[in-house]
Amino acid sequence: MLSGILRIEGYEVATAETGAQAMAEAERAFVNVALIELELPDMLGIELMGRIKLATPLTEAIVLTDHASLDTAVESTNKGAFSYLLKPCDIDKLLRHIHRALDQQQTQQRILQLASFPGMNPNPVLEVNAAGEITYLNPVAERLFPELAVAQPVPGALGDVAVPAAMGSGERPEVVRELRVGSTTFEQFLYPVPQSDLVRIYMLDITERKRSEEALKKSEARYRSYIELTGQLAWVTGADGVVVEDIPSWRAFTGQSEDQVKGRGWSEALHPDDRERAAQIWREAVERKGVYEVEYRMLRHDGIYRNFFARGVPVLDASGGVHEWVGTAIDITERKQAETALRKSMELLQSVVEYVPGRIFWKDRDSRYLGCNTEFAKDAGHARPDELIGKTDFEMGWKDQAELYRADDQAVMESGQPKLDYEELQTTPDGNTIWLSTSKVPLRDESQQVIGMLGLYRDITERKRAEEALSENQARLDLALRSARMGVWHFDMIENRRYFDEQVCRLLGLDPATFNGTAEEFLGAIHPDDRETVKAALARTLEQEVPYEPEYRAVWPDGSVHAITARGRLVRDDKGRPARINGIIWDITERKNSEEGQKLFRALVDRSTDAIEVLDPQTYRFLDVNQKACLDLGYSREELLSLSAFDIDPTLDRSRAAEQSQGLRKLGSLIYEGRHRRKDGSEFPVEVNLGYVQLDRAYIISIARDITERKQAQEALERKERYYRKMIEGGSEVFLLMDRAGTVLYRNEPGKQLTGWTTAEVLGKPVTDFVSAESLPLIRGAMAEAFANPDQWFRVEVSMVRKDGKQVEVEALAKNLLDDPDVAGIVITVRDITERKQAGLTLDKANRALHTLSACNVALVRATSESGLLDSICRLVVETGGYRMAWVGYPEQDAAKTVRPVAHFGHEEGYLAAAKISWADNEFGRGPIGMAIRTGTVQVNQHFLTDPAMAPWQEAARPRGYQSSIALPLKNSAGILGVLTIYASEPDAFNEAEVTLLQELAADLAFGIQTLRTRIEHDRIVDEHMRDAEILMQSLEDSIKAIAATVEMRDAYTAGHQRRVGQLAVAIANELGLPEGTIRGIELAASIHDVGKIGVPAEILSKPTKLTNLELMLVKNHAQAGYDILKDIKFPWPIATMVWQHHERQDGSGYPQGLKGEQILLESRIIGVADVVEAMASHRPYRAALGIDMALKEIERGRDSVYDAAVVDACVRVFSEKRFVFSA
């Protein structure tokens, strides 16, 4: 079935039942990949694989087996297997392994091509004839065994070589032995050469493998000893729980024999009540392929059961199934006994605290609850105290107070002092807040060390609420008394002592802290003129039992006088004798002042310069008037009070009186101009201010002012304004009036002639709307200066924008309207200066062109290349000449006759790539550039955006600011070389003088191009000779790159790793200032520094978990393998040594040679640092990328100990200062 599938996939397949048949098939035809069963009828699959690899080393082998183990995997790898798979295996997985094996084979073939140089084979090989004489030695054998020579017998040092008598009959015997030469151990294979009487002797270097095997044995023995020392019982079982290895520690504890333990007999040592539970947990762990954890009792050899905690982990095979279980069992008897004792102690404590009144709780040093009584648990919203154990206050309903509670806990535990009977808030589980009275004390152990905290609290919410209610009522009473400026007092007649509250003391100007209640103190606070009044009132109350109600004045210490009213009642004792008078006082100063104020207000109203009238809102009748109203209208007060507003205001409409009154009520106040009629019938203008006032009833207050003089002054001012307006409108200059925001308030008629904008189009708009963008800072600056300096004129020249879009140059003079900073406005006069500016501009253009010509002539003299010359000319035209953009184009001789841009500078922004420019006689060739090439004449376009001939390019030119252009042909004796085109940002940019100077510039540029081309042709011939020499070196470098790419195809996770290491290594070398040749060697070495991984199985390279020691040793061998591959290839640099040493470290901790410091090539030190940084920053099968920052911290940590200090510093600078990033 497998053969058929492989044939469908396109492979040629041959099959064999035995190892001998497989060898015959391998001799008949080259086998790319051999699929080998682990067990065959006549030999082991690993033995067959070894024979095939010896006969055809390039054949890759994949081992198939029904059961896999670590030993099998290691032996298969050591014998040269590409991979091993557990049967039955997924066909897709098998096809992937075959594909990878073929990729590796192609890589090895390329390596063998390199190895065709003398001495490339890394292992010694000999051929011996039937007489025992040497017929062939490869270079490695010649170097290792200098005493050997062709045609000489094999010495005894290599052992006797016996060629079987049956060799000619086709039998293929094999002899395998180990041979030690110095410090190197070889595995020797003797194999007959087909169709000859020769025996080929292969010697495989197995030194590292022997070391790895020895280290693995020592590591396993050390691991077992560590487990035994901890007192744990280590165990190993198969996937089904059957013990497959002896467990000495288990037998020592249980007293079972080795036979009793094996199989499932180990479970007999478990307590009968625990066996089924342990077995069920085992089955669940097997099903989920997870960790097995269980507690059970196990019988000790002395008949006592001990408590154990067992833990096992599954070891998975290549297909993901459980291969075996490895675990330990720990004696936890003492711990279980301690837990039982602690539980009993806690139960006793719990029973005690349940009967203690209040809520009790205790915590550990981390403020985690260790216990509480039931009442506390209920407060926390739990049914039982054990539900709180291990929790913190942050997990309770009172988490809002948790930080405060924790601070109190820590303060008690840190200080060792209790905190007693303090009040705090707590949020209940239902969201309410209660008050607590809390006490906390530290808990100590036998050594008096604080180990926790014990707390007790009581709910005092009801008490707090009562206190708060009492305090609130008292505060409310105090507030009422203070608001009313009242105080409470009583006079104890038995003690002859007066008791005043603080408010009474304040009202009388007494100090509550020193007042002793004597009659002298009280009377001393009363105005001298009022003291007898107070005494008389007191006597009347005592004699006649009438209320005590005097009014008097209190004199405060600052001399101020305050009016006081007192009220009091006499109280008798149980014998009917006067005992005391209870009373209050209050300040009536404001009332007294109000009465005086009313008199003063009346006087002020009558002396007002405005007529004031009080009207009824319903009838508009006068309720009160002042003296000014009577004088203005010619009526007496009595006459006016008999009239209404309708009698004096001819503008009022009696039918709308109610409506007008309601409108005034909504507005509150209203100001308007009207007319009033005097008693004699004459009328005069007034400004009326009406107000709607609600006091004991509604009123309308009318304040009327005679504005006859103001009206006359206003008319005079208007006449003057008309006069000055005619004068301004008839002048030639433009006048503008603006407010502080720059809004145009006025502009005279000459402004329309200058700008084309009508007055209506300008008024109400910002003046900046009519100024060019370039002039905005100038006009704003002039306005700001004018506002800041009202007494000065400020001059500025700006460009105004006409209605037709054109700009006109003007001179503006700005001045504050008045010499008063509060007046928000300025006046600007504007004069047309276009002609004067145009004359100056013409001169500037000529000077600009002359400076450009001078700078370009300097560039012509200094130019060394045509492209450099053209770039310099374009740059100078823009920078020195101030033009928008310049470019040079060469005419092409293609069918479309395109013009190819060769240089440009300025605001090009993709214009040349988008524009279709030709010199053919068509739409795209009739522009200035095409015409300049065809006719050889200068083409000037002063209006780029409006000229119909420029239509194909106007859309692209507009956003780039091209307004005008000039195309200058570059001519020599042979014809037109190209064209220099210059764009300006303004129309009409090129006058006659400027064009003449630019023509001279074009002639000089054409001469410079011709001169450089002659020189370049000479240099080209010299360069061709140099390139021929470089091609030879490039071929060798390309071969190296092909090998590097092939190596990376085997490992998807490290694909591109060598190339990126090369990028970083080159950057570090440049930072160190190394010569260019050395840097090139570093780049090549870095690009193949992991070539030795060809010999590492792909399964190990892509393994997603931690490598075993043996697998790690196989990977570490890649540095030595890479050196062996490259050492005999001749390079201009020590490539092989760089690869060999790239894992060496400064302190000798590296491999494979353990070199230190200067023993390591600088190039290798650089590649080593780059290798570490790239590897940590990239993804790996066994972990995600750690990032550049983590990688840099790693090399800085090992600076000068593990890694070269100078290389580390250069690497850090490359990232931090040079912003290095890996390219894709």
DSSP string of 371-435?
EE-HHHHHHTT-SSGGGSTT--GGGSTTGGGHHHHHHHHHHHHHH---EEEEEEEEE-TTS-EEE
pLDDT score, position 318: 59
pLDDT score, position 964: 94
**pLDDT top residue among 1000 and 159:** 1000
Is the pTM higher than 0.85? The answer reads: no
In whole numbers, what is the pLDDT of the chain averaged over residues?
82
Residue 1190 near residue 1199, CB atoms below 8 Å: no
| Residue ranges in 689-739 assigned as alpha helix (H) | 708-729
pLDDT score, position 161: 47
Position 231 pLDDT exceeds 50: yes
Task: Centre a 10 Å sphere on the Cβ of residue 88 and count the other Cβ atoms it contains.
Answer: 10
Neighbouring-strand partners of residue 567? 584
Q: How confident is the model at residue 171 (pLDDT cuts 50, 70, 90)?
A: very low
CATH class of 1050-1216: mainly alpha
Tokens of 456: 């007790």
Residue 919 near residue 899, CB atoms below 8 Å: yes
Encode pLDDT of 751-768 as tens digits: 787 788 888 888 888 888
The CATH fold assigned to 484-593 is Beta-Lactamase (3.30.450)
**pLDDT top residue among 744 and 316:** 744
With the C-alpha atoms ordered 246, 252, 258, 260, is the resulting torsion angle positive or negative? negative
By the 10 Å C-beta count (0-12 exposed, 13-18 middle, 19+ buried), 823 is classed as middle
Q: How confident is the model at residue 881 (pLDDT cuts 50, 70, 90)?
A: confident
Residue tagged 């390019």 (tokens) = 953
Q: How confident is the model at residue 739 (pLDDT cuts 50, 70, 90)?
A: confident
Q: How confident is the model over 919-926, as a mean pLDDT? A: 89
Spatial separation of the C-alpha atoms in residues 864 and 265, rounded to whole Å: 94
pLDDT score, position 109: 59
Nearest Cα residue to 1069 out of 989, 977, 975, 1138: 1138
Spatial separation of the C-alpha atoms in residues 23 and 15, rounded to whole Å: 11
**Least confidently predicted of 185-189, 759-763, 921-925:** 185-189
pLDDT score, position 844: 64
Q: Does domain 1-116 have CATH number 3.40.50.2300?
A: yes
Encode pLDDT of 48-80 as tens digits: 888 887 777 778 888 887 655 545 655 676 667
Torsion region of 433: left, alpha or beta (phi above 0 gives left; psi -120 to 50 gives alpha): beta
Q: How confident is the model over 970-991, as a mean pLDDT? A: 89
pLDDT score, position 173: 38
Spatial separation of the C-alpha atoms in residues 534 and 551, rounded to whole Å: 8
Q: Residue 279 contacts by C-beta under 8 Å, 6 or more apart in sequence?
A: 267
CATH number, domain 230-331: 3.30.450.20
Encode pLDDT of 306-334 as tens digits: 999 888 888 776 567 777 888 888 888 88
Q: How confident is the model at residue 258 (pLDDT cuts 50, 70, 90)?
A: confident
Encode pLDDT of 812-832 as tens digits: 877 776 555 555 577 787 887
Position 869 pLDDT exceeds 70: yes
Q: What are phi and psi of 915, to 5 degrees?
A: -75, 140
Same fold, 484-593 and 730-821: yes
> Best-predicted range by mean pLDDT among 29-43, 765-779, 967-981?
967-981
Neighbouring-strand partners of residue 901? 889
Q: How confident is the model over 770-791, as a mean pLDDT? A: 82
Position 118 pLDDT exceeds 50: no
**pLDDT top residue among 990 and 468:** 990
**pLDDT top residue among 1155 and 999:** 1155
Spatial separation of the C-alpha atoms in residues 489 and 276, rounded to whole Å: 91
Position 1032 pLDDT exceeds 60: no
Spatial separation of the C-alpha atoms in residues 1099 and 1089, rounded to whole Å: 20
Q: How confident is the model over 468-495, as a mean pLDDT? A: 70
Q: How confident is the model at residue 163 (pLDDT cuts 50, 70, 90)?
A: very low
Residue 614 near residue 637, CB atoms below 8 Å: no
Q: How confident is the model at residue 230 (pLDDT cuts 50, 70, 90)?
A: low
Spatial separation of the C-alpha atoms in residues 1156 and 996, rounded to whole Å: 74
**Least confidently predicted of 224-228, 947-951, 1055-1059, 1066-1070:** 224-228
Q: How confident is the model at residue 1208 (pLDDT cuts 50, 70, 90)?
A: very high
Encode pLDDT of 390-421 as tens digits: 899 999 989 999 999 999 999 999 999 999 88
Helices 1162-1177, 1188-1197: inter-axial angle, 10-degree rounding: 140
Encode pLDDT of 575-608 as tens digits: 888 889 988 888 888 777 766 656 666 766 777 7
Q: How confident is the model over 378-397, as a mean pLDDT? A: 90
pLDDT score, position 1165: 96
DSSP class of residue 1154 equals: -
Position 447 pLDDT exceeds 70: yes
pLDDT score, position 338: 67
Q: How confident is the model over 1163-1181, as a mean pLDDT? A: 90
Give Cα 406 to chain centroid, integer Å. 34
The CA–CA distances, whole Å, from 986 to 947, 962, 989 equal 14, 7, 6
Position 182 pLDDT exceeds 80: no
Give the H or E element holding residue 249.
helix 248-254
What three-state secondary structure class fits 1208? Answer: helix
Residue 184 near residue 207, CB atoms below 8 Å: yes
Position 351 pLDDT exceeds 70: no
Tokens of 419: 């905190």
By the 10 Å C-beta count (0-12 exposed, 13-18 middle, 19+ buried), 654 is classed as exposed
The CA–CA distances, whole Å, from 522 to 531, 561, 586, 972, 1143 equal 10, 15, 15, 124, 104
pLDDT score, position 821: 52
Q: What angle do CA 934, 935, 937 make, to 5 degrees?
A: 130
pLDDT score, position 415: 93
Nearest Cα residue to 490 out of 586, 570, 554: 570
Spatial separation of the C-alpha atoms in residues 1204 and 697, rounded to whole Å: 100
Nearest Cα residue to 208 out of 1147, 1153, 1097, 1168: 1153
**Least confidently predicted of 172-176, 447-451, 519-523, 923-927:** 172-176
Q: Residue 845 contacts by C-beta under 8 Å, 6 or more apart in sequence?
A: 989, 990, 991, 993, 994
Order of strands, edge to edge, in the sheet holding 622-625? Answer: 622-625, 611-615, 698-706, 683-694, 669-677
Helices 1162-1177, 1057-1072: inter-axial angle, 10-degree rounding: 130
Spatial separation of the C-alpha atoms in residues 391 and 403, rounded to whole Å: 14
pLDDT score, position 114: 40
Neighbouring-strand partners of residue 891? 899
DSSP class of residue 165 equals: G
Residue 1115 near residue 1107, CB atoms below 8 Å: yes
Residue 315 near residue 325, CB atoms below 8 Å: yes
3-state secondary structure 854-911: HHHHHHHHHCCCHHHHHHHHHHHHHHCCCCCEEEEEEECCCCCCEEEEEEEEECCCCH
Pairing state of beta strands 83-86 and 60-65? parallel
Position 1205 pLDDT exceeds 60: yes
pLDDT score, position 1021: 64
Which amino acid does the sequence have at 450?
Answer: V
Q: How confident is the model at residue 989 (pLDDT cuts 50, 70, 90)?
A: confident
What three-state secondary structure class fits 690? Answer: strand
Q: How confident is the model at residue 1011 (pLDDT cuts 50, 70, 90)?
A: confident
Percent of the chain with pLDDT over 90: 23
Position 960 pLDDT exceeds 60: yes
CATH superfamily assigned to domain 123-216 = PAS domain (3.30.450.20)
Helices 992-1049, 91-115: inter-axial angle, 10-degree rounding: 110
Encode pLDDT of 669-728 as tens digits: 888 888 999 999 999 999 999 888 888 788 998 889 888 888 888 888 888 777 767 766
Q: Residue 235 contacts by C-beta under 8 Å, 6 or more apart in sequence?
A: 243, 247, 250, 266, 312, 325, 326, 327, 328, 329
pLDDT score, position 49: 84
Q: How confident is the model at residue 1206 (pLDDT cuts 50, 70, 90)?
A: very high
Order of strands, edge to edge, in the sheet holding 419-427? Answer: 369-372, 359-364, 450-459, 433-444, 419-427
Neighbouring-strand partners of residue 330? 309
The CATH fold assigned to 839-1018 is Beta-Lactamase (3.30.450)
Nearest Cα residue to 190 out of 204, 206, 208, 180: 204
CATH number, domain 608-708: 3.30.450.20
Position 661 pLDDT exceeds 90: no
Give Cα 1182 to chain centroid, integer Å. 27
Pairing state of beta strands 60-65 and 33-37? parallel
Domain positions in the chain are 1-116, 123-216, 230-331, 359-465, 484-593, 608-708, 730-821, 839-1018, 1050-1216
Torsion region of 515: left, alpha or beta (phi above 0 gives left; psi -120 to 50 gives alpha): beta
Nearest Cα residue to 43 out of 19, 60, 65, 10: 19
Position 111 pLDDT exceeds 60: no
| DSSP tally for the chain: helices H, then strands E | 40, 37
Position 883 pLDDT exceeds 50: yes
Residue 548 near residue 538, CB atoms below 8 Å: yes
Spatial separation of the C-alpha atoms in residues 430 and 432, rounded to whole Å: 6
The CATH fold assigned to 730-821 is Beta-Lactamase (3.30.450)
pLDDT score, position 527: 93
Position 266 pLDDT exceeds 80: no
Residue 503 near residue 482, CB atoms below 8 Å: yes
The CATH fold assigned to 359-465 is Beta-Lactamase (3.30.450)
> Best-predicted range by mean pLDDT among 185-189, 334-338, 826-830, 1072-1076?
1072-1076
Nearest Cα residue to 641 out of 660, 658, 620, 661: 620
Q: State the Rg of the chain over Cα.
A: 56
